[in-house]
């Protein structure tokens, strides 16, 4: 087996053992790493031949650079959790749609109020609407990527709101599990927040409507990518007053003393004071600095600061990284034949090849990263519950460290 490995790496004929066939652990490790590299190159070449050049979202006429094409081959690594907490009903919804567009992944948290059906509808439909709008915007000329994504998100939120309003007027039947089915056809008091993130090869796009929040950890610092839409926020207060509405402080600032947020999907009974227009932010990704992204409902953010949340997630991901490094150490990945110090033993035909071992290692590493993100999300929800949050808690954690497929 050792001789075969050397022939693949060095490209030599089937002669006797050369200097590359030293049986020490260092030589075995070099052989294993070289074969893994060759396997990755071969797989990438095969993928490019079968799929052709990947279509860019912005539909630009220029060719994407090799670096940009490589970035598109990125696996989504994430985890999420959603718990009812101390509430009687669960009104949150979470959406995770990896690869919903070529090279792009969709994540969303929707915090419902009044009932769950608007949040549930957002979780099921928002990514589909974004796909439609992104396809319609692909042929737009003269717009940069930021302006194009801003338009996509604004139109998507408007369509989602129109569907929610149609549902509240009885045009669309509520879900079978929705308690609104026991009421009269009109249930216009139901709505939901919406914070969504689209992770692309070069940018992170965040659109927010309501008081759910997105926070990026960059270089160890917490960077908020959204701003809560509260009725007492100066610009929101001015807008509500200009529309003829009032903000009444009743257990906090509320629109007409009822709704504790100034923007939401649905809530047709409070229009035009409560609007669905999202605030959109397009952030360029920075390799080596961007660590992870947190999306969560206010059940978390009411009791946990941005900085504390980032510290918790970072500790979880670092712990996972240490476990991964220990598992992928040279001696732990070698088969008994490869780690042998003697070159005179017979080949072990039952031992896995280096390429197969590398593939299994990559799969295990990806699963470990997903598990770490899920553990971080669970830990944040436990922290929020321990701090006596009174709301449902939904958390999505997305690892932003680059790892190619």
pLDDT in tens, 280-336: 999 999 999 999 999 999 999 999 999 999 999 999 999 876 665 555 555 444 333
Q: Give me the helix-helix angle, 25-51 and 2-10, nearest 10°.
A: 50
For residue 228, give Cα distances in angstroms to 278, 302, 397: 11, 11, 19
Phi first, then psi, for residue 197 (nearest 5°) are -130, 135
Q: Are 193 and 297 in contact (CB under 8 A)?
A: yes
More confident residue, 102 or 35: 102
Q: Is the pLDDT of residue 142 over 50?
A: yes
Q: Alpha-carbon distance 382 to 399, whole Å? A: 20
Q: What is the pLDDT of residue 45?
A: 43
Question: What element of type H or E holds 393?
Answer: strand 393-399
| Residue spans in the chain of domains classed CATH 3.60.40.10 | 66-229+264-324+361-399
Torsion of CA 7, 11, 17, 23, to 10 degrees: -60
| Residue 29 DSSP label | H
Q: What is the pLDDT of residue 319?
A: 84
- The pLDDT, as a whole number, for residue 113 is 95
Question: Per-residue pLDDT averaged across 111-118, rounded?
Answer: 94
More confident residue, 206 or 58: 206
Any residues with CB less than 8 A from the CB of 288 and at least 6 apart, and which? none
**How long is the chain?**
405
Residue 18: its pLDDT value, please? 40
Six token digits for residue 65: 């650079």
Mean pLDDT throughout 332-359? 43
The CATH code of the domain at 66-229+264-324+361-399 is 3.60.40.10
> Which of 133-137, 232-236, 243-247, 380-384 is predicted with the least confidence, judged by mean pLDDT?
133-137
CA atoms within 13 A on the CB side of 397: 30
207/124 Cα distance (integer angstroms)? 17
368 pLDDT band, cuts 50/70/90, is confident
d(CA 382, CA 71): 35
Please report which residue ranges of 65-200 form alpha helices under DSSP H. Answer: 66-72, 117-137, 145-168
Phi and psi at residue 356, to the nearest 5°: -65, -40
Task: Please tell me the predicted confidence (pLDDT) of residue 367.
Answer: 84
First to last CA, the chain: 28
Mean pLDDT of the chain: 78
Q: What is the structure's pLDDT at 180?
A: 57
SS3 of 214, please?
A: strand
Q: What are phi and psi of 150, to 5 degrees?
A: -60, -45
Out of 147-151, 201-205, 221-225, 324-328, which region has the weakest mean confidence (pLDDT)?
Answer: 324-328
* pLDDT score of 228 more than 50: yes
Residue 243: which residues within 8 A CB-CB, separation 6 or more? 272, 273
Give the per-residue pLDDT at 22: 42
């Amino acid at each position: 087996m050792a001789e075969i490995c050397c022939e693949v790496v060095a490209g030599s004929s089937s002669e006797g053992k050369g200097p590359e066939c030293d049986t020490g652990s260092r030589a075995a490790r070099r052989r294993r790493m070289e074969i893994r590299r060759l396997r990755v190159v071969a797989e990438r070449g095969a993928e490019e031949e079968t799929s052709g050049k990947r279509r860019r979202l912005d539909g630009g006429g220029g060719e994407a650079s090799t670096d940009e094409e490589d970035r598109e081959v990125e696996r989504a690594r994430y985890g999420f959790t959603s718990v009812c907490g101390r509430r009687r009903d669960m009104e949150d919804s979470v959406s995770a749609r990896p690869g919903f567009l070529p090279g792009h992944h969709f994540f969303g948290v929707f915090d419902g109020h009044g009932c769950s059906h608007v949040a549930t509808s957002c979780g099921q439909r928002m990514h589909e609407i974004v796909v439609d709008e992104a396809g319609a915007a692909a042929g737009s000329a003269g717009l940069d990527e930021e302006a194009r994504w801003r338009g996509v998100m604004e139109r998507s939120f408007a369509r989602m709101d129109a569907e929610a309003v149609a549902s509240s007027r009885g045009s669309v039947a509520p879900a079978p599990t929705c308690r609104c089915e026991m009421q009269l056809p009109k249930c216009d008091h139901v709505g939901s927040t919406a914070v969504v993130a689209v992770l692309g090869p070069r940018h992170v796009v965040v659109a927010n409507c309501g008081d759910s929040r997105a926070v990026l950890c960059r270089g160890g610092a917490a960077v908020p990518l959204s701003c809560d839409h509260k009725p007492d926020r100066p610009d929101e207060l001015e807008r509500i007053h200009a529309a003829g509405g009032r903000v009444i402080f009743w257990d906090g600032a509320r629109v007409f003393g009822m709704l504790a947020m100034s923007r939401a999907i649905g809530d047709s009974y409070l229009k035009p004071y409560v609007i669905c227009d999202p605030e959109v932010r397009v952030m360029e990704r920075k390799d080596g600095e961007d660590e992870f992204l947190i999306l969560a409902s206010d059940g978390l953010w009411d009791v946990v600061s941005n900085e504390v949340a980032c510290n918790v997630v970072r500790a979880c991901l670092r712990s996972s990284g240490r476990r991964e490094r220990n598992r992928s150490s040279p001696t732990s990945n070698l088969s008994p034949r490869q780690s042998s110090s003697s070159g005179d033993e017979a080949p072990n035909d039952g031992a896995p090849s280096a390429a197969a071992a590398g593939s299994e290692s990559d799969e295990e590493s990806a699963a470990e990263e997903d598990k770490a993100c899920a553990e971080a999300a669970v830990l944040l929800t436990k922290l929020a519950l321990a701090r006596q949050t009174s709301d449902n808690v939904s958390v999505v954690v997305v690892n932003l460290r680059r790892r190619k497929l």
